[in-house]
Chain A
Amino acid sequence: MTTVDYVLRLGDDALVTAQRLGAWYAAGPEMEEDVALANIALDQLGAARLLLTYAGELEGAGRDEDALAYQRGPADFRNCRLVEQPEPDFGVVIAKLLLLSAFQLPCYEALAGAGDERLSAIAGKARKESAYHLDHATLWTLRLGDGTDESHQRMQASFDTLWPFVDGLFAGDDGGPVDPAELRKAWTSTVEDVLGRATLTVPAPVAEPTGERTHLVELLAEMQQLHRAHPGARW
Chain B
Amino acid sequence: MYGNDFAGPDAGSDGGLLGQVEAAEAALRAAAHRGRVEGDPAALQDYFDAVIDADQKIEPRDWMPDAYRRGLVRQIAQHAHSEIIGMQPEGSWITRAPSLKRKAILLAKVQDEAGHGLYLYAAAETLGITRAELVDMLLDGRQKYSSIFNYPTLTWADIGAIGWLVDGAAIVNQVPLCRCSYGPYARAMIRICKEESFHQRQGYEILHTLSHGTPEQHAMAQDAVDRWWYPSLAMFGPPDTDSTHSAQSMAWKIKRFSNDDLRQRFVDMCVQQAGVLGLRIPDPDLRWNSERQAHDFTAPDFDELMRVIKGDGPCNAERMAHRRRAHSDGAWVREAAAAYAAKQEEVVAV
Which A residues are closer than 8 A to B by beta carbons?
15, 18-19, 22-23, 25-35, 38-39, 41-42, 45-46, 48-49, 52, 65-66, 69-70, 89-91, 142-144, 146-148, 150-151, 154, 222-223, 225-227, 230, 232-235
- B326 near A28 with CB under 8 A, answer yes
- B100 near A28 with CB under 8 A, answer no
In the bound complex, CA of A52 to CA of B103 (Å): 15
B44-103, CB < 8 A from A: 84, 87-88, 91-92, 94-103
- A34 near B337 with CB under 8 A, answer no
| Given A18-B103, A31-B84, 20 other A-B residues pairs in contact with their CB atoms under 8 A | A15-B100, A25-B107, A26-B110, A26-B326, A29-B329, A29-B331, A34-B87, A35-B111, A38-B111, A38-B114, A70-B98, A89-B329, A143-B337, A146-B340, A148-B335, A151-B335, A222-B96, A226-B97, A232-B214, A233-B98
- B108 near A34 with CB under 8 A, answer no
Contacting residue for A28 out of B94, B102, B103, B330, CB 8 A: B330
- B114 near A31 with CB under 8 A, answer yes
- B118 near A35 with CB under 8 A, answer yes
- B94 near A22 with CB under 8 A, answer yes
* B133: interface (CB < 8 Å): no
Given known contacts A45-B103, A147-B340, is B98 in contact with A90 (CB within 8 Å)? no
- B214 near A148 with CB under 8 A, answer no
In the bound complex, CA of A34 to CA of B336 (Å): 18
- B323 near A26 with CB under 8 A, answer yes
- B330 near A30 with CB under 8 A, answer yes
Provide 10 A-B residue pairs closer than 8 Å at the C-beta atoms, listed in order of the A residue. Answer: A18-B103, A23-B95, A25-B110, A27-B329, A31-B121, A34-B87, A69-B100, A142-B340, A147-B339, A148-B332
- A25 near B94 with CB under 8 A, answer yes
Return A75 CB to nearest CB of chain B, in Å: 21
Chain A residues, CB < 8 A from B323: 26
Return A143 CB to nearest CB of chain B, in Å: 4
Chain A residues, CB < 8 A from B214: 230, 232-233
Given known contacts A26-B84, A31-B118, A146-B340, is B333 in contact with A235 (CB within 8 Å)? no
Q: Mark interface residues in B212-223 (1 if CB within 8 Å of A CB, else 0).
A: 011011000000
In the bound complex, CA of A26 to CA of B325 (Å): 10
- A154 near B332 with CB under 8 A, answer yes
Return A147 CB to nearest CB of chain B, in Å: 3
Minimal Cβ-Cβ distance residue in B for A45: B104
- B118 near A46 with CB under 8 A, answer no
Chain B residues, CB < 8 A from A144: 333, 336-337, 340
* B168: interface (CB < 8 Å): no
